[in-house]
Amino acid sequence: MTRVVLITGVSRYLGGRLASVLSADSSIERIIGVDVVPPRQDVGRTEFVRADIRNPIIAKVIASAHVDTVVHMSVIATPFGAGGRTAMKEINVIGTMQLLAACQKAPSLQKLVVKSTSAVYGSSSRDPALFTEGMEPRAQFRSGYGKDSTEVEGYVRGLGRRRPDVDVSLLRFANFIGPRIDTPLTRYFSLPVVPRVFGFDPRVQFIHEDDGIEVLRRAVVGDHRGTFNVAGSGVLLVSQAIRRAGRPAIQVPSPAVSVVGSLFRRAGLVDFSPEQMQFLQFGRGVDVTRLHEDFGYRPAYTTVQAFDDFVAGRGLTKYIDPDQLAEVERRLLGQMERRRPINA
Amino acid sequence: MPEARVIPIEGRDAADLPRRGRKAARCTALAADGERCRSKAVADGLCGEHLEEQERAVSRAAAPDWERKVAGALAFMRRRLTGEYDVDDFGFDADLTENVMLSTLRPLYDKYFRVEARGLENIPNEGGALVVANHSGTIPLDAMMTQVAIYDHHPAHRHLRMLGADLVFRTPVVGELARKTGTTLASNEDAERLLTSGELAGVWPEGFKGIGKPFSERYRLQRFGRGGFVSAALRSGVPIIPCSIVGAEEIYPVVGNIKVLARLLGLPYMPVTPFFPLLGPLGLIPLPSKWIIEFGEPIPTNELGSGAADDPMLVFNLTDQVREVIQQTLYKLLLSRRSVFF
């Protein structure tokens, strides 16, 4: 079986890394990377095609190269880089529609891997502790990444129905974290003082960038039909994560949250979309049993380890240094002991 | 009490010493790598460094209780500041619950309400089980007291993992604390996840109808929801433990309900008691009633089979049975009670 893999969003961090990982795999004949800007990082032997997936040109690329595996990774999470929410929605939804239309027409296509997100489960007070793949979001989305991803998944399922011969892997990733990746959450935890919503301490889950790439690689080379939640085991509370990063936190009462959020957005520090706010209020957890058992992969990093690796890898200054604290504790205990008569 | 590390004073075998000759007496303590310490002995067959360590170990063993408490508190504070504690998938923070929440509630349990817990032997030492109890008292103090009763007085010191309404998780501070102290959303998914992972779950199926009911209806059980807790127990095959709580009804005798205000604040009820809102914040102090929490005989569900949860009639009947057991136990306890406050 000849393997020609097409990756959309190859110039973005994860797309580029996947391309370079797949380059090392000799069983793959050709790798074609598609994006609107050329990749900045090393993508190995990937052939770069400058194309917009919103343009029918993508169909020609797929047909002429006899692509058999499409990895769709260009659903973007924030309007920050895209130039506004309208453009973001355009790229996400219209782009996916065009890509899938091209896929449906391509007889050579055998496999479709879609990088989706656990944001499709939303985030609300009525959420179960952990979402399994079969569950629906409890609150309606108004806009944003979650809504886009839900729509994208809808189109992907539609393709799965119309082309039952195509293996569709839908991977719902938790928030990516790691020493190199740049996401709204990594920026959030890198702030010198981290604001959090007063009276709410949401649970968050992370997937380490290396684990995420490995899951995508396995989805490309292996046979993993179906929908899978992808996250490191365990959860972290936002307050706990801020403490592990050694940062001070300030609590912002929820009515003021949107004001503070837009201030941060305008300052270009962190992109706080309303959806992000909701997430920082209620959090989210996903069940990864299916990933462990059916997909057959156990992420090397748990949520906590992934976060610690991010803190260590970024070299974030810990304002509250655990070693210093331990030293203070030891000194206090020592003093207490010295004050006590030995023959007491 | 942690065992102090004992550093041998006379050496591991006293016969060792003379053989080596007294003039070059070596320290007899073991170094960190398990090898003998190579330094010269100063006194008692120990070198200066190990002598000091030994003295410290001896004094640590003799440390008064308060010092150990201070040490524990310091370690706790360090863990909290650096985030080095574990939280389970539900957001339950055992470190915080044991060190802060339970120790705050304990005086209330022991001294204020003088809770008497009966039938704790009906709670299994391990494995999933569902405690089902009556709800009362305007604020869910009854749930917290049940949690203390099981953690403090059950031989296995189990944590009761409670199921709460979504209003709890929508409310700032309350929702955060509830999750950290082991409450999760009262939904079939969460209940089953808790029970199948072998946790002891607690549910108050009357919900707001029970906790906010007027004083005139005290100890009269309300409708037990839709029986969701029974189907969760049936699906996970765990026993149901009926639990009857007497005393919680009297802490805030509700005589009225300001519905307009409740609707305005988005609350299910706005209670009026003889002291609240009349006395302002003073009216928030609960009355010191004497409590009895009785855990009844477990009702097994595993022999009914896994399909039983899909039989609505069976679920209704089992729900009624649990409700009836709790109601009868309540009547029995009320009859045996000498007075509300003693």
**Domain assignments of chain B as residue spans, ordered by start:** 16-61, 94-251+286-336
DSSP state of A302: -
Average pLDDT over residues B144-157: 96
Contact B90 A337 (CB under 8 A): no
Nearest chain A CA: its distance from B70 CA (Å): 9
CA separation for the pair A261, A272 (Å, rounded): 5
Q: Per CB distance under 8 Å, which residues of B are interface residues toward A?
A: 55-56, 58-60, 62-64, 67, 70-71, 74-75, 78, 80-91, 93, 166-167, 169-176, 179-180, 184-185, 187, 189-190, 193
Other CB atoms within 10 Å distance of the CB of residue A140: 8
pLDDT digits (tens, 9 = 90+) for A224-246: 999 999 999 999 999 999 999 99
CA separation for the pair B114, B337 (Å, rounded): 13
Nearest by CB to residue A201, choosing from B84, B90, B176, is B176
Contact by Cβ (8 Å): A129, B184: yes
Residue by residue, DSSP assigns A144-189 as SHHHHHHHHHHHHHHHHHH-TTSEEEEEEE-EEESSS---HHHHHH
Percent of chain B with pLDDT over 70: 87
- The pair of three-digit structure tokens given for residue A218, joined into one six-digit string: 């396995």
CA separation for the pair B190, B202 (Å, rounded): 12
Return mean pLDDT, chain B. 87
CA-nearest of B306, B67, B340, B102 to B218 is B340
Q: How confident is the model at residue B61 (pLDDT cuts 50, 70, 90)?
A: low
CA separation for the pair A133, A41 (Å, rounded): 33
pLDDT of residue B6: 52
Overall CATH class of domain B94-251+286-336: alpha beta
- A202: Cβ–Cβ under 8 A, 6 or more apart, which residues? A123, A237, A238, A279, A280, A281, A282, A283, A284
- B71: Cβ–Cβ under 8 A, 6 or more apart, which residues? A333, A336, B63
Query: Cis bond leading into A128, ω under 30°?
Result: no
- In the three-class reduction of DSSP (H, G, I as helix; E, B as strand; rest coil), residue B46 is classed as strand
- The pair of three-digit structure tokens given for residue A320, joined into one six-digit string: 């509250």
Chain A residues with beta carbon closer than 8 angstroms to that of B163: none
Contact B83 A244 (CB under 8 A): yes
**Interface residue of B86, B189, B197, B199 to substitute, partner A, most A CBs within 10 Å:** B189
pLDDT of residue A315: 86
Across chain B, where does the E strand assignment appear? Answer: 116-118, 129-133, 160-164, 184-185, 200-203, 240-246, 256-257, 271-272, 292-295
Contact by Cβ (8 Å): B151, B160: yes
pLDDT digits (tens, 9 = 90+) for A27-45: 999 999 999 999 999 999 9
The tokens 């305008």 sit on which residue? A266
Return mean pLDDT, chain A. 91
DSSP state of B211: H
Nearest chain A CA: its distance from B186 CA (Å): 9
Q: Per CB distance under 8 Å, which residues of A are interface residues toward B?
A: 125-130, 132, 135, 197-201, 203, 234-237, 239-244, 246, 253-254, 282, 285, 320, 322, 325-326, 329, 332-333, 336-337, 340, 342, 344
pLDDT digits (tens, 9 = 90+) for B202-244: 999 999 999 999 999 999 999 998 889 999 999 999 999 999 9
Beta pairing, strands A194-197 & A226-230: unpaired
Contact A285 B89 (CB under 8 A): yes
**Does A184 or B131 have the greater pLDDT score?**
B131
Q: How confident is the model at residue A84 (pLDDT cuts 50, 70, 90)?
A: confident
pLDDT at A318 over 60: yes
How far is CA B331 from each of CA A164, B134, B146, B246, B254, rounded to the nearest angstrom?
A: 63, 12, 19, 9, 20
Helix axes A13-23, A209-221, angle to 10 degrees: 50
Supply φ then ψ for residue B250, to 5 degrees: -90, -5
Helices (H) and strands (E) in chain B, counts: 13, 9
Chain B residues with beta carbon closer than 8 angstroms to that of A320: 81-82
Nearest by CB to residue B193, choosing from A129, A239, A344, is A129
pLDDT of residue A28: 94
Q: How confident is the model at residue A336 (pLDDT cuts 50, 70, 90)?
A: confident
CA separation for the pair B105, B143 (Å, rounded): 11
Nearest by CB to residue B185, choosing from A126, A198, A254, is A126
Entry field: residues in chain B = 342
Burial of B150 (0-12, 13-18, 19+ CB in 10 A): buried
Contact by Cβ (8 Å): A168, A138: no
Percent of chain A with pLDDT over 90: 70
Residue by residue, DSSP assigns A213-242 as HHHHHHHHHS---EEEEE--SS-EEHHHHH
* CA-only gyration radius of chain B, Å: 27
Average pLDDT over residues A140-149: 83
CA separation for the pair B299, B130 (Å, rounded): 10
Percent of chain B with pLDDT over 90: 68
pLDDT of residue A317: 82
Residue by residue, DSSP assigns B119-185 as -GGGS-SSS-EEEEE---SSSTHHHHHHHHHHHHHSTT-PPEEEEE-HHHHHSTTHHHHHHHTT-EE
pLDDT of residue B31: 65
Beta pairing, strands A167-173 & A111-117: parallel
- ipTM here: 0.88
CA separation for the pair B317, B299 (Å, rounded): 13
pLDDT of residue B24: 53
pLDDT digits (tens, 9 = 90+) for B5-49: 555 554 444 444 444 444 456 677 666 566 667 677 777 777 777
CA separation for the pair A223, A231 (Å, rounded): 20
Chain A residues with beta carbon closer than 8 angstroms to that of B56: 337
**Does A82 or A168 have the greater pLDDT score?**
A168
Contact B55 A342 (CB under 8 A): yes
Contact by Cβ (8 Å): B201, B163: yes
Supply φ then ψ for residue A28, to 5 degrees: -100, 125
Chain A residues with beta carbon closer than 8 angstroms to that of B176: 199-201
pTM to 2 decimals? 0.87
pLDDT of residue B42: 72
